[in-house]
Chains A and B, each alone.
Chain A
Amino acid sequence: MINPNEDGNEDMETKSTPSSLSDVAKANQARKQPGSGALGVGLEARSIHAWFGDKLVLRDISLDFWSGTVTALIGPSGCGKSTFIRTLNRMHEFIPGAAMAGEVLLNGQDIYEQGTDVTKIRLKVGMVFQKPNPFPSMTIADNVLAGLKLAQLKSENKDDLLEECLERAGLWNEVKDRLNAYGGSLSGGQQQRLCIARSLAVRPEVLLMDEPCSALDPGSTLKIEETIQHLSSSMTIIIVTHNMQQAARVSDYTGFFLSDGGPGELVEVGPTSEIFSRPKDIRTENYVTGRFG
């Protein structure tokens, strides 16, 4: 569990050219404005287990996500990171045979409680997927506002919302002249930012990102990372990534998942700079230093 008060960046003055991941992470944390950090616990996972059929794929994950922070989940393929974040907005249940145990508390309320309206949960916990997936039958503008239509929400001023969301996703300047073009006409990186804008339009409190850059080129990746940093001041962001540099660049906290053939477990979690500089667990150290995975 993370305690934001022991941030562990006492030595943040040592600002040399970042030569290692831990330096990158430190530099990143140093850049954060004071006071823009943790606003309180937004989302808490309590002892999450997950099954596919009879196979236990996640064991006992407990993790708190603080508002206004970015948490990166790293780990080798097949360690259950994606499954974990899909339990956080109840996308897990779409897989036939899926089951879970534990609780996910959003503002203190268990999202799996009986009688919870799952569509409302997904409005509050948005998600950006691995592959950009704008709705091809909709224009750019329609795509951004799709969530309003899908969830039958009303908006006072759609144009303002459209501009705001595209602005926050860092796409406004690129598409403001062709809002009526189809979403499929954008480049891959632009499409992914369009998907981020689409998620923002329903004003989620938490944004889950499942390897959002794995299908993109380095330039687009950089843009998305900038977007993530802009967004992090106002919402909780949880990002699954294979790319350790990315975790170091964008996140405040990092959780390391590992599976030794059995169910995935959370090996270690802490401030990103610590995970990359002084990991407590030898397996984490091996992973972040590139000795395996």
Chain B
Amino acid sequence: MSTPTLKPTRPWKLTPKQRGLIVLNLVIASALSYLIVLLTPMKGKLAYLSIFFIATIVINFAENYFKRGLAAAKDSIATSFAAAGLIVAVVPIFSILFTIFERGRAGLNFGLFLHDMKLNGPNDPLNQGGLLHALIGSGIMVGIALLISLPIGILTAIYLTEIKGIYSRPIKFLVQAMSGVPSIVAGLFILSAIVFPITKSSSGLMGGFALAILMIPTIARTSEEVLLLIPNDLREAGVALGGTQWRTISLIVVPAAKSGLITATILGLARVAGETAPLVLVSGGGDAVNTNPFQSPMGSLPFYIWKGFTFGTTESIARSWAGIFVLLSLIFILFIAARTLSGSRSSK
């Protein structure tokens, strides 16, 4: 027996020659689409793209049909379509990110984080005023929403996974239904249940309530998934050691699921941070920093963006883009945090 100095090989991977052939096909297809657009009345980007797509399919089909037969040729069509599906789905994302970067840049300056709009109108030059009030307001309202929805969401998840009471099925169903509640309905509900009969004015607290309604199902569903991943052995081991259910869950199950639960929370935050419609209805939007959630309207990032957009002038819209830049950066940070956490959990 020879000592294995052999190199592991993967003969099923594409060889450089095959890769070259794929590139060649794409090049031929692009050349073909250029020619066709040049020579026929079809014009425009759409024409280039669709002819390129059709040409790619035809070339791949022909190649595979003659080399490997009909089944392989059909497979090549399916591959082209699936890849096209991915591209179509992803192009808007890059377009959106590019647009935000391009248009948001103009309105970005450090003063944005130091000033509010108390003394400035949306039409003032971009280096005046800022979104401090919106940032603070968003922070307060999302914080209130978190305070309300975190216990409720996690308790719901615990009820569904640990207690498994007689209401489990209906509650699971209702939580799912709740995650589909349109955001404007959440706003209307807070208006009809609290603002109109009781407070009669909009405030940050109302905004927090509305956001909480939207946040509970996200936290509950994600937490439920996380808790379901905790192996049953852990629970049985806890109970077998003489622990009560309460102690088992609070000392063993929940700590084991901790990073997952944090991920669930972060995803919930990311979901509501950009909600606009309910805040337009219930929290109003002051232009000055307001740190009291119980009184007077409170600004928020989405409202700041909304206001700039509906005002409709060049400056105000530039403000909106800068606001979106900030908002999306925050969401992006939250998202990365959630990913990192859940990534480190699953790799363990």
Contacts and interface: CB of A to CB of B under 8 A. Distances in A.
Decide if A and B are genuine partners.
yes
Interface of A: 47, 49, 51, 56, 59-60, 90, 93, 98-102, 112-114, 117-120, 150-152, 265
Contacts of A60: 1-2, 4
Nearest to A266: B1
A124 to B, nearest CB: 15
Nearest to B2: A60
B69 A90 contact: no
Tell me the dominant secondary structure on chain B's binding face.
loop
A152 B8 contact: no
9 contacts: A56-B4, A59-B1, A93-B10, A93-B12, A99-B8, A101-B7, A102-B6, A152-B70, A152-B71
B92 interface: no
Nearest to B15: A114
The list of the 6 closest CB pairs from A to B, nearest first, reads A99-B8, A152-B71, A112-B11, A93-B12, A101-B6, A51-B8
B18 to A, nearest CB: 8
Contact of B10 (A47, A99, A117, A150): A99
Contact of A101 (B8, B15, B68, B69): B8
A159 B8 CA distance: 45
Given A60-B1, A152-B69, A49 B8 contact: yes
Contact of B9 (A47, A101, A119, A120): A101
Contacts of A114: 11, 15, 17
A93 B14 CA distance: 13
Contacts of A152: 69-71, 74
Nearest to A101: B6
A223 B7 CA distance: 43
Contacts of B11: 100, 112-114
B9 A59 contact: no
B233 to A, nearest CB: 22
Given A47-B2, A98-B10, A152-B69, 17 more contacts: A49-B6, A56-B4, A60-B1, A90-B12, A93-B10, A99-B8, A99-B9, A99-B10, A101-B6, A101-B8, A102-B6, A112-B12, A114-B15, A117-B72, A119-B72, A151-B71, A265-B1
Contacts of B69: 152
B12 A118 contact: yes
Nearest to B6: A101
A284 to B, nearest CB: 16
B71 A119 contact: yes
Interface string B1-45: 110101111111001010000000000000000000000000000
Nearest to A154: B70
B202 to A, nearest CB: 54
Given A60-B1, A60-B2, A114-B15, A100 B8 contact: yes
B4 A49 contact: yes
Contacts of B67: 117
A60 B72 CA distance: 33
A152 B67 CA distance: 15
Nearest to A265: B1
Contacts of A98: 10
Given A49-B4, A101-B6, A117 B68 contact: yes
A119 B73 CA distance: 13
Interface string B209-230: 0000000000000000000000
